Amino acid sequence: MPAALTVEREAARAGSAPGVAASAAALDDPLELERCTRWVSGPGGERLAESWLQLSGMYCAACAGTIEHALQAAGGAIEASVVAATQRATVRWDPARTRLSTLVGAVRAAGYEAVPDAAAPARALRRREHRQALWRFFVASFCAMQVMMFATPSYVASGDELSADLRQLLNWAAWFVSLPVMWFAAGPFFRAAWTQLRARRIGMDVPVALALAVTFVGSMGATFDPGGVFGTEVYFDSLTMFLAFLLGGRYLELRARHRAAEDLERTLARLPETVERRCGDGRWETVSVRRLQAGDEVRVALGQAFPADGVVLEGRTRVDEALLSGESEPQWRGAGDAVVAASVNVGAPVRVRVQRVGADTRFEAIVAMMREAMSQRPASARVADRWAAVFLWAVLGLAALGALAWSFIDPSRALWVAVAVLIVTCPCAFSLAAPAALVAAAGGLARRGVVFQRLEAIETLAAADAAFIDKTGTLTEDRLQLREVLLLPQARGETALDAASARVRAASLAQWSQHPLARTLVHAGDAGAAGAAAADGIAWHDLDEQRGRGLAGTDEDGRRWRLGAWDFVGGADEAPWPQVRVWLSCQGQVRAGFVLEEQLREGAAEAMARLRAHGLRLTLLSGDERARAEAMAARLGLDAAIGQASPEDKLACVAAAQAGGATVLMVGDGVNDAPVMARADVSLAMGQGALVARTQADAVIVSSRPADLVRAREVSTRTMAIVRQNMAWAALYNAACIPLALVGWLPPWAAGLGMATSSLFVILNALRAAR
């Protein structure tokens, strides 16, 4: 396809705003499918698709079960998980048996809306949902005010001040104004209740719809036939006020969900739609970022986000990686340095060689983790959902018993007592207590550089009482640092060599080796501009490296230099300083030794002290020799250290702690520690480059700052406290209000206000977890 046509079609796709009801062809297009789908292997090695959908029309936890049932009944869906708190679905399906458009159609046939979880259609869906929710709230509120005006004379009039004809006229007016409330504002509750009943499930919308229908029918009967079987009292004011309160609470809940979705969408929006790519003939063409491949050369302008992971070929700039690592200050990047997708070029234009694109990039790995976390239902939420179903049946039974009892006490009040019980006991607060707080916490931590893959991990992290922490790459940087240069006495006639010259000479020779110790010396030699220039100016020849021992080379003056172990450089007897790990010799005479030490990550000691203050027992796990591991543990104030630990030893340590009743947290690099991380109750990995994409940890500290590990622990502890507060509030509210409704002291309008206030309290309290 010609490049111009490719660009034109991609631009048209990027510039258009697809409607909510995406066509089947668009849903099944491979290029668009990959925006909301990843490919995984099934149990038998078959190729399966895992797609993310944004949903709307959900109002309770039972809706999640209805949608899951509809997806699995469509055929071809292997597994479906729906979370009401975020209105997202994750569907694993077999492309040989079904298509994404078929699954989306099944959701729509169940009475809900679904679109791929990609920016444009999801935004359109949220706008429509927000507009409809606002209109329903406005209609219910406005009509409630009008109905209250019609009802006020009946409340304030005494004796014969209000004639029967005028009272009847006001009742007729209230009935007429209530019609749009029942037809438009209450429509979603009736549709959802009908869908739940048709699926032989009971959700929170069933008692709400039942209460609305009974109140409206009873009041209408009293209006049309005063003194008949429904009596003379009408409750159009209670009906409209209850619905206004309920819709107001659900509107605030919807706004909270939309904010979480917008946070994720802003993350996705960091990638540019198009980028300049170099053609084989040297020309530059503008193409979609989805057309990039590894090895392409692209040009990134000032202010543009990097379209993929890559390495800088030409230019020097500053890169804003705040979104990915939480690092507030832009970082310098020059030729040979790595850059990551979605970080922003804030310094100068550069040319970049693409190394990883699409799902292989660090950015997409983070987004996938955020999506997965937002699409999971935590254990506490599943427990609440199960109890909510039992509770709903108990509510219906209580309402029936209350109506039966009052039919003997005061038949005119029996119906309204039942309505009040149905309204006040709607278990919205119970079902929202855990997922709302956990979703808010996950979103807040993600903005600070800690990305959870499992919401349940927040619960477990709060309960952890023992932590095993890997040393290298977790508490220390993944490279050593040069602490000191020690000079040996020089023989008579030798050229004087000071510490700076020794460091430059060692760095220059070390440039020809990829050994970690050699790279440390290169980094130390590059610390000063003069040193770097001097190191680059030395011409070496006759280079010879012996693996694991050292490197030798001849300089421009014909002198033979050696860099490496004591015996390799020509040292006799024992080395004078045991702490020296690398030696430098010239013409067989040892001239200098380099003391290298591990560099603690910034804030590591303070972070460990704060974790101990939080009640965690800290154990250092390391493959280094025992003395070095114990010295590091003492330096950091840890409780214990285990050195020379193999992967099997680490696994045994964690298993022993769990056998003793401990809830174990494991912190490591996410790859080398994969077996022990899988065994631990909860695991966090320091995220470095491509490790993020391969980690099996429950969460990734993208910033790699130990202080963020403490923040994750503090936020998880605070979040679970909020969950307990929400549960306690919901239980206390129901314990207080159900008896009041049963004895007839709580009218329907007050029950509606209480129920809406309870749900609103839970949502607002849950949002504190994001701080």
Positions marked catalytic: 470
What three-state secondary structure class fits 456?
A: helix
Residues 725 and 727: their CA atoms lie apart, in Å, by 5
What three-state secondary structure class fits 285?
A: strand
Closest C-alpha among 113, 150, 106, 122 to residue 35: 122
User: H-helix or E-strand containing 165?
Assistant: helix 164-180
* Tokens encoding 282: 């040297």
Q: How many CA atoms lie within 13 Å of 718's alpha carbon, on the beta-carbon side? A: 18
Strands in 138-192 per DSSP E: none
* Amino acid in the structure at residue 614: H
Residues 424 and 739: their CA atoms lie apart, in Å, by 10
What three-state secondary structure class fits 253?
A: helix
- Tell how many helices (H) and how many strands (E) occur in the chain: 26, 27
* Tokens encoding 290: 């989805």
Going from the C-alpha of 491 to that of each of 330, 349, 553, the distances in angstroms are: 49, 53, 21
**Contact indicator for 452, 670 with CB cutoff of 8 Å:** no
Determine what percent of the chain falls in helix, strand and coil, rounding each to the nearest 5: 50, 20, 30
Going from the C-alpha of 353 to that of each of 132, 294, 454, the distances in angstroms are: 47, 8, 34
Residues 193 and 366: their CA atoms lie apart, in Å, by 37
Q: Between the CA atoms of 712, 718, 723 and 729, what dihedral angle is there, to the nearest 10 degrees?
A: -170
**Contact indicator for 370, 267 with CB cutoff of 8 Å:** yes
Q: Rg of the chain over CA atoms, in angstroms? A: 34
**Contact indicator for 524, 503 with CB cutoff of 8 Å:** yes
Closest C-alpha among 561, 586, 564, 559 to residue 575: 564
Residues 397 and 654: their CA atoms lie apart, in Å, by 49
| Segments in 614-705 forming alpha helices (H) | 626-636, 647-659, 674-679, 691-694
Taking every pair of C-alpha atoms in the chain, what is the biggest distance, in angstroms?
126
**Chain centroid to CA 11: how far?**
30
**Chain centroid to CA 326: how far?**
14
* Amino acid in the structure at residue 690: A
- Over the range 445-461, which residues count as b (16 or more CB within 10 Å of their CB) and which as e? bbebbbbbbbbbbbbbb
* Tokens encoding 315: 């230019």
Look at the block and give the residue holding tokens 């936020």: 715
With the C-alpha atoms ordered 379, 385, 386, 388, is the resulting torsion angle positive or negative? positive
User: H-helix or E-strand containing 452?
Assistant: strand 450-452
* Amino acid in the structure at residue 143: C
* Tokens encoding 725: 């507060």
Q: 232: which residues sit within 8 A by CB, 6+ positions away?
A: 222, 226
Look at the block and give the residue holding tokens 């709230």: 137
**Contact indicator for 93, 103 with CB cutoff of 8 Å:** yes
Strands 617-621 and 466-470: parallel
User: H-helix or E-strand containing 423?
Assistant: helix 411-424
Closest C-alpha among 441, 380, 447, 466 to residue 718: 441
Residues 341 and 693: their CA atoms lie apart, in Å, by 13
